[in-house]
Amino acid sequence: MSPADTDALDLDHAPDLDYAVAGHVATITLNRPHRKNAFTIEMTDAWAAALRSAQQDPEVRVVVVTGAGDAFCSGVDLDAFGERERTPWAEKSLLTDRIHQVAFAAEALTKPYIAAVNGVAVGAGMDMSLMADIRIAGASARFSEGYIRVGLVPGDGGCWYLPRIVGTATALRLLWTGDFVDSAEALAMGLVSAVHPDDELRDAVETFARRLAAQPPVAMQLIKRAVREGERHDLRTALDLISSHQAVVTATRDSQEAMAAFREKRPGTYTGR
């Protein structure tokens, strides 16, 4: 299956993955709780398709990903991946053509992307959480890159994402040791933005997601683009880009509505135009 083919997946009947949109918030739920949401190839196809659908859907302003049951994602389901060709080219193609499509779809997503991490996020499961803009954890959350324990390198972007979030030295420590990080340590190192009791996590994330969804969506997306592009550009290029973004956003009806709402001390009502 090619990346383009995944867009045609029926997300209402995606394997072990639920996708729903309500109140301008799209929620992706990994739904294999009996396997601690370890993912299959079919799940990654559906995951990438869900992100692409959220990007294209004007009703979606924020995307949340979480896991059913007591885990976020325990990584690759090794049993499900057992029956396959094991040549070097086949191994590389499996990653680049299928699993990495989630990372590419996340990178292309201009809308806020939040990972609600409940329980373990291990190996590729941790990497998948790092693809989000923000991680919010339950008290039971535990993170581990884990690959080194089985003689592997992080196959889903951990070596790229983690240093940018927690710094090079801390990232290398976690990558080299495979140590678990609990929710308190994750908060202290900036791996997560907030920690909530497990039974309050869903409500806390939903409240935050709806708060973001109530903001002017064009401005939200342009802010994300400016931040992401700023990671690759010098100051002059970043300021030139933001001047263009400012010219675009001030021409929107939402910008005029936001200014009026601010002056009148009322909530704004935004349409994405």
In percent, how much of the chain has pLDDT > 70? 94
Which residue did the predictor score with more confidence, 28 or 80?
28
Report d(CA 45, CA 105) in Å as an integer: 11
Summarised one tens digit per residue, pLDDT across range 173-190 is 999 999 999 999 999 999
Q: Which helix (H) or strand (E) holds 21?
A: strand 17-22
Q: Which long-range contacts (CB under 8 A, 24 or more apart) does 20-25 make?
A: 21/54, 21/57, 21/59, 21/60, 23/210, 23/213, 24/59, 24/60, 24/61, 24/62, 24/210, 24/213, 25/60, 25/61, 25/62, 25/63, 25/64, 25/206, 25/209, 25/210, 25/213
| pLDDT mean over 215-240 | 94
Give residue 5's pLDDT: 46
Q: End-to-end distance of the chain based on CA atoms, in angstroms?
A: 35
Give residue 82's pLDDT: 63
Summarised one tens digit per residue, pLDDT across range 50-91 is 999 999 999 999 999 999 999 999 998 877 766 667 889 988
Q: Where residue 2 falls among pLDDT bands split at 50, 70, 90?
A: very low
User: pLDDT averaged over the chain?
Assistant: 93
Domains and CATH numbers, the chain: 3-213 (3.90.226.10), 217-264 (1.10.12.10)
Single-letter amino acid, residue 211: R
CA dist list (Å): 33 to 21, 72, 120: 21, 9, 12
Tell me the longest C-alpha to C-alpha distance in the chain.
Answer: 65
| pLDDT mean over 193-200 | 98
Q: Where residue 45 falls among pLDDT bands split at 50, 70, 90?
A: very high
DSSP-derived secondary structure for 111-128: S-EEEEE-SEEETHHHHH
Q: Residue 172, CB half-sphere, CA atoms under 13 Å: how many?
A: 2
**Which parts of 57-157 fold into alpha helices (H)?**
88-93, 100-108, 124-130
Summarised one tens digit per residue, pLDDT across range 90-141 is 889 989 999 999 999 999 999 999 999 999 999 999 999 999 999 999 999 9
Give residue 1's pLDDT: 43
Q: What is the pTM of this model?
A: 0.92
